[in-house]
Amino acid sequence: MPETTFLDSTELVLNMGPQHPSTHGVLRVILKLDGEKVMGTECVIGYLHRGVEKIGENRTYLQFAPYVDRMDYVAAVSNGLGYCLAVEKLLNIEAPPRAQVTRVILTELNRVASHLLWLGTHALDIGAITPVFYTFREREEVLKIFENYCGARLTTHAFRIGGLQYELYDGFEEQVKAFCDMFLPKVDEYEELLTNNRIWVNRLKGVGILNADECKEFGVTGPVLRAAGVSWDLRKAQPYSGYEQYDFEIPTAQNGDTYDRYGVRMREMRQSVRIIRQAVDKIPAGPIGKTPKVIKPPVGEAYVSIEAPKGELGYFIVSDNSTQPYRVRVRPPSFINLQALDRMVRGGLVADVVAIIGTIDIVLGEVDR
C-alpha cells in the first residue's frame, strides 16, 4: 500500500471495461484510486465463459480437439499441441518423427504470430499506432502458411491425436524459409521503431515490476517470469515433441518490468525463427501418424503441459476408460498470470494499468474458457 497522503481524500472507484479497447477483450477491472494512484484492483472476469471443460466431458477425445483452439484463439496451434500430447500421454503413444518436427514448426510459427499480435496491440495501447500495421502484415504471412497447410487461419485444428491429419503441401519448406528470411529484418525494424523511442521507454521502464519470488508465488509463467530473471522454459526444462534436438536460447532479463518483458518477447521471436530454420532443414520422411480408431485410454490421469506463447499451458485429463474424457482441466496461463495484475499495478498510475494489462499478454478466451 502506498503511504496515505495528508489530504486523505476518499477513494474513487473507477470501472474499466468490459467494453474498453485496451483491456484486450471483455475484461472488467474495478480500480480503486487515490487521485491518480491505484490503491487496488479487482478483476471481474467470466464474460466469455463457454464451459470448455464441461464440453470436454461430453465429447469424444477426437471431437474435443477443435474446441481447445477456441480458448487462446491467437495461439490455437499451441493449444492443439498441448491437448494432443496429453491424450497421447494417456494412451502411451507418440507421434512419428515427421509429425513431431512439423508440429514444432507450426507451433513456433504460431508463437511468432501470437507475439506479433501482442506487440501490435501493446504498442497501440501505449499510443504507438504504426507497429500494429506492420505486425499484422507479417502475421498475415504466418496465417497464410496455416491456411495453406490446414485450411484455416485462426482456429486451425492442425493436429490430431497420434500425429497429423494433413500431409505437408508442396512448397511448404520454401514458404517457411522465405518467411524466416523476410521476418528477421522486420524484427529489427520494430526495434528501430520502439526500443530507443523515448516515449516508449519512459512509459515502460520501471512499470509493473514483478520480481522472481513474486512470480513464483503467483504462479506466473512465460515471458513475464523470464523477464524477472528466471531462465525457465518448458521447452528446455521438460522437452516435449523433440524440442531437445534444437539449439536455442532462453531470453531472460533482470528487472522484471514492462520494458524487459517487451525485450524478452522480441528476442523470443528471433529464437523461434532459429528453431524453425533448424527444423525445416530436417523434416524427416516417413509416416505422419494415424489417429487410433478407438480412443479409449485406460483408467488414470495425466497432466501434460507445454510452453505456450503466454506461459505454461497444461491439460489435466482424467480417463475412465470410455471414449469421452471423465474430466478435462485446462491450466490456462492467461488466467493465472492475470491474477498478478493486482500486485503489479498497486501504487502505480492509472495510465500504467493499460500498459500492464498489455504486457501480461492475456487472451480473454483463455481466461474465461
Partner 1 sequence: MAATPWEGELPAALKQRFGDQISECSTYLGQNFAVVKAEAVIPILEFLKLEADFDYLVDITAVDYPNRTERFELFYILYSFARNERVRIKTAIADGYKPGTATAVHSVANWLEREVFDMFGVQFAGHPDMRRILMPEEWEGFPLRKDYSIIKQDDRWVKENLGIESGQ
Partner 2 sequence: MNKFLRSIFLVDLFQGLWVTFRNQNPKYIYTEQYPGERPKVAERYRGAPRLNINPDNGETLCIACNLCALACPETLIVVGSERNEQTRRKDLTTFTYDLSRCMFCGLCEDACPVDALELTQDFELAAYTRDGAIWDRQMLEEGPRPTRYKF
Please classify residue 240 by burial: count the beta carbons closer than 10 Å to its beta carbon, then call 0-12 exposed, 13-18 middle and 19+ buried: buried
Residue 197 binds partner 2, judged by CB under 8 A: yes
Residue 335 binds partner 1, judged by CB under 8 A: yes
**Least Å from the CB of residue 279 to partner 1:** 24
Site for partner 1 in 52-81 (CB under 8 A): 53-55, 57-58
Taking residues 249 to 288 in sequence order and writing x for each that binds partner 1 by CB under 8 A, - otherwise, the string is ----------------------------------------
Distance between start and end Cα atoms, the chain: 32
Residue 189 binds partner 2, judged by CB under 8 A: yes
**Least Å from the CB of residue 67 to partner 2:** 7
Structure letter (DSSP) for residue 74: G
Runs of H (alpha helix) within the chain? 52-57, 61-68, 76-91, 97-126, 130-150, 172-194, 198-204, 212-217, 223-227, 234-237, 258-281, 333-339, 341-345, 350-360, 364-368
- CA-based nearest residue to 81, from 155, 160, 139, 151: 160
Phi, psi of 159 (to 5 degrees): -110, 155
Interface with partner 2 by CB under 8 A: which range of 4-12, 82-90, 100-108, 141-149?
A: 141-149
The span from the CA of 156 to the CA of 158, in Å, is 5
Helix (H, G, I), strand (E, B) or coil at 30: strand
Residue 194 binds partner 2, judged by CB under 8 A: yes
Residue 159 binds partner 2, judged by CB under 8 A: no
Site for partner 2 in 31-60 (CB under 8 A): 59
Residue with cell 504462479: 219
Structure letter (DSSP) for residue 314: E
Residue 62 binds partner 2, judged by CB under 8 A: yes
- DSSP assignment of 248-303 equals ------SS-SHHHHHHHHHHHHHHHHHHHHHHHHT---S------SS--PPSEEEE
155 binds, among partner 2, partner 1, none (CB under 5 to 8 A by kind): partner 2
Q: Which residue, 59 or 346, is less far from partner 2 as judged by CB?
A: 59
Residue ranges that bind partner 2, judged by CB under 8 A: 59, 62-67, 70, 130, 134, 137, 140, 144, 147-152, 155, 157, 165-166, 169, 189, 192-194, 196-198
Residue ranges that bind partner 1, judged by CB under 8 A: 45-46, 49, 51, 53-55, 57-58, 89-90, 92, 216-219, 230, 232, 237-238, 298, 300-303, 305, 312, 314, 316, 318, 326-327, 329, 331, 335-336, 339, 368-369
